[in-house]
Amino acid sequence: MFSFLKYFNNNDKNNYEGLTDASLNINTITSDISGNINSAKKTADKAKDDSKKTSESINELAKEIFNKSTIILVILFLAIYFIVYFILGFFLNKGGESTNFQTKVSRTFDIFILVAVLIVVALFFYTYSEKEKETVFNDLFENTKDFIDRPSSIFVTGFLIILLYVILYLFRIPMTQETKPFFVYFIESLAWIVFIIIAFVDFFKYVLGISITDMLSKLINPKEDEKDEKPTPKPTNTNEVFNISNNLYTYEDAQAICSSYGAKLATYEQIEDAYKNGAEWCNYGWSDGQMAFFPTQKTTWTELQKFPKHKNDCGRPGINGGYIHNPHVKFGVNCYGKKPKANPQDLSLLNNKGKNLFPKSEADVALDKKVDYWKKNGDKMLRLNSFNNVKWSEF
């Protein structure tokens, strides 16, 4: 009897242990599935962000190449081409005299370009102020640096090189070693040097994660950050998340900027708490852990859906962003600490924002100017008709 009870108890114990092991296995499998789902979601979000950035780069490239000024230049080029084509074509097809004439054309072209350069230099000295003359080289360096830093710069440069050869071919500019114009040789060489430099910089920046342009800037202007004459506004007494909006800073810069305010890079949790309290700014900011985030409120997102061209401007409701592999990408900064008090310029910008969810486009600005014009001149220039032959208005 006792042996039977002992056997029965042992069986119950084994069954209970088996059930416990099975429960643990189920929990483990559930945890693994949940982890895989979260991992897949993060991967999908990252792929979505990468796709958005690629789309933005393509749009930026298209805007740089196919804009109003480019179209005007193309039309002007075609007009000049049809005039020059027949003149040069007539003289450059004279058999034995062609080489001698091509040399004369090249020297004429060189003289023409030299005169144009001298006119530009003269205009510069006469039209620029003394202050502008002092900063011209620094401005030139900064503009060149900004162009090289753009992801689309290598495509723009390649397009311009192709365009240069097309123009030289269409205008029948002599290209042999003996007859090639000096300025054509100079521009051609400069274009290829710039193309190679951009390819070199892009390789280090996007493959090795090293920004050569930033290193060069620090060598040329080692105390650039110390020259800021504006005093840092006094901070408030309570820690909060605040965003520095201009997208000019690497991850390393962002850490130094927050430290200059006595703050630190904001964590995801701190940004999430700010979001729950109503924070939103449609601008990526470097955050702790080499993350880049910005919060968007549901009400703002809902309003943006009414505008097809702007419905994706501020991402989705919640915290947008994630881990950024390349620390040299330029973003704003999300700091956590005592936010500096607003100066008059900050308050003016805040008041101008009002309820505008996005900056006005060039078309919107042009339309606003027309509206203002007709508001001021409508009573003088516009002639309204009566409702019918008897009364002025329906009501």
Give per-residue pLDDT as tens, 251-276.
999 999 999 989 999 999 999 999 99
Q: Which of 119-123, 185-189, 221-225, 365-369 has the highest mean pLDDT?
A: 185-189
Name the residue among 298, 288, 289, 278 with its Cα closest to residue 334: 288
What pTM does this model have?
0.40
Residue range 66-95: average pLDDT?
A: 62
- Spatial separation of the C-alpha atoms in residues 285 and 275, rounded to whole Å: 14
Residue range 165-194: average pLDDT?
A: 77
- Per-residue pLDDT, 13: 46
- Per-residue pLDDT, 144: 78
At 106-131, the pLDDT tens digits run 677 677 777 777 887 777 777 766 66
Cα–Cα distance list, 292 to 175, 213, 249, 278, 283 (Å): 51, 22, 12, 19, 9
Start-end of CATH 3.10.100.10 domains in the chain: 232-354
- Per-residue pLDDT, 353: 64
- Spatial separation of the C-alpha atoms in residues 53 and 247, rounded to whole Å: 14
Name the residue among 248, 235, 231 with its Cα closest to residue 284: 248
* pLDDT: which is higher, 103 or 323: 323
- Spatial separation of the C-alpha atoms in residues 334 and 319, rounded to whole Å: 13
Cβ count near 142 (within 10 Å): 13
- Spatial separation of the C-alpha atoms in residues 59 and 53, rounded to whole Å: 10
Q: Which tokens go with 69?
A: 């000024």
- Per-residue pLDDT, 58: 61
The answer on pLDDT for 76 being more than 60 is yes
Residue 172 gets the label, from left (phi > 0), alpha (psi -120 to 50) or beta, of left
* pLDDT: which is higher, 37 or 98: 98
Give Cβ neighbours of residue 149 (< 8 Å, ≥ 6 apart): 201, 213, 330
Q: Which of 69-78, 140-149, 216-225 has the highest mean pLDDT?
A: 140-149
Q: What pLDDT band is residue 61 in, cutting at 50, 70 and 90?
A: low
- Per-residue pLDDT, 3: 45
Q: What is the CATH number of domain 232-354?
A: 3.10.100.10
Residue 72 is given by DSSP the state: H
In sequence order, the β-bridge partners of residue 291 are 287, 323
Q: What pLDDT band is residue 165 in, cutting at 50, 70 and 90?
A: confident
Helix (H, G, I), strand (E, B) or coil at 73: helix
Cβ atoms of 61 and 155 closer than 8 Å: yes
